[in-house]
Amino acid sequence: MKLFDVYPINIINIVHSEGSYAWDENEVQYLDMYGGHAVISIGHTHPHWVKRIEEQLSKIAFYSNSIQIPIQQELADKLGKMSGKENYQLFLCNSGAEANENALKLASFHTGRKKIVAFEKAFHGRTSLAVAATDNASIVAPVNETDNIVFLPFNDEEALTNYFATAGNDVAAVIIEAIQGVGGIAVATDNFLKAIRSLCTQNGAVFIADEVQCGYGRTGNFFAVDHAGVDADIYSMAKGMGNGFPVGGILIAPHINSRHGMLGTTFGGNHLACAAALAVLEIMEDENLLHKAAENGEYLLNELKEISGIQNVRGKGLMIGFDVPDELKDLRKNLLHKHQTFTGEAKPNGIRLLPSLAITRNEIDEFLAALKTEVKELKNKIPADVGIVE
């Protein structure tokens, strides 16, 4: 049987990993500045994470949500403490798309309304409502098309205010990534997030912060919207939550009430996923990873700004992007194949950095050295007089 061919893949077979590194079957070592797509939060194969999963696996991996699962409450307590959202409620699922699907559905149940405000270049996942709220027509199947979603320009307070002035009573939710990931590391301004907060409050709409990529400590605060000093009504989470073990969830503000059957899942919140998620939070706390993400992220951002040739260095904490001019268009490919360094893509012409929150200063310096070497080599390939017409 063939695999369904939906990914453009690199011909690399990673067989083991540790911290910020991964090795292929020939023991070639790769530096992971991509964190397996923002998933590796505490570092690859962290021994405490492995041990906690192994111990849980040898006791019980799964039983249905029809019984008490105390480790879910343990996770909720720890997550409440670490995120500062102790009065919120936790619903567990398995992925980012599912988290957003549940968040949007819950907002509609709660308000009795249908309209969702999303933003241009947003990515919220591939399930039906999440993909409809994703600004990429090529991944929206005809059956998912709906006029319940409106896309407004990102960081445009006036457009948002005008929309609420005409349709505020119909809006169930506003969903936003405080830093757009797939959209190319676009950072929402504090004022824009504050405007969303106040317009949602005034109009009885639900503010959903999609923290699947930018959240869970990546920017140095637990949630990326925390930088703006506002609370969302629902936070969606996945990626870094399990450090590679599939687990997602939503944090739900206390004023949103549940009823039986409203949301549900077979696998969400299983014993093994909770053990993995707890291990992640324990390590984040013990190793002070939020602080490290802020400090090392600032260092990396400032160092990148000093490199001439790369452009528009932007981001927060360890979620960083920069643009690459045409003369450096092979940069990402060469970093991978010549310097064995994984990075992400920031569309249309950029590079996205999403390393483990536990990355060290030495590892960052190793990346910067490779980047500088490669930028220099690519620049030297261009004859000095190119473009000069006499």
Q: Which residues bind ligand PLP (CB under 6 A)?
A: 95-97, 100, 123-125, 177, 181-182, 210, 212-213, 238
For residue 323, the Cα-to-chain-centroid distance in whole angstroms is 19
Q: Which residue has the tokens 């000069």?
A: 388
Tokens of 178: 């405080």
At 301, which helix (H) or strand (E)?
helix 289-305
Tokens of 176: 């936003």
- Give the nearest distance from C-beta 213 to ligand PLP in angstroms: 4
Beta carbon nearer to ligand PLP, 267 or 299: 267
Beta carbon nearer to ligand PLP, 52 or 124: 124
Amino acid at 237: M
Beta carbon nearer to ligand PLP, 129 or 200: 129
| C-alpha span between 23 and 82 (Å, rounded) | 32
Tokens of 218: 């990546």
Residue with nearest beta carbon to ligand PLP: 96
- Give the nearest distance from C-beta 382 to ligand PLP in angstroms: 34
Beta carbon nearer to ligand PLP, 215 or 297: 215
- Give the nearest distance from C-beta 179 to ligand PLP in angstroms: 9
- Give the nearest distance from C-beta 249 to ligand PLP in angstroms: 11
| C-alpha span between 124 and 313 (Å, rounded) | 24
- HEC secondary structure over 88-109: CEEEEECCHHHHHHHHHHHHHH
Question: Parallel, antiparallel, or unpaired for β 89-93 and 29-32?
Answer: unpaired
- Give the nearest distance from C-beta 236 to ligand PLP in angstroms: 7
Beta carbon nearer to ligand PLP, 111 or 213: 213
| C-alpha span between 192 and 208 (Å, rounded) | 14
Beta carbon nearer to ligand PLP, 200 or 208: 208
- Give the nearest distance from C-beta 255 to ligand PLP in angstroms: 24
Tokens of 76: 């909720």
| C-alpha span between 240 and 281 (Å, rounded) | 10
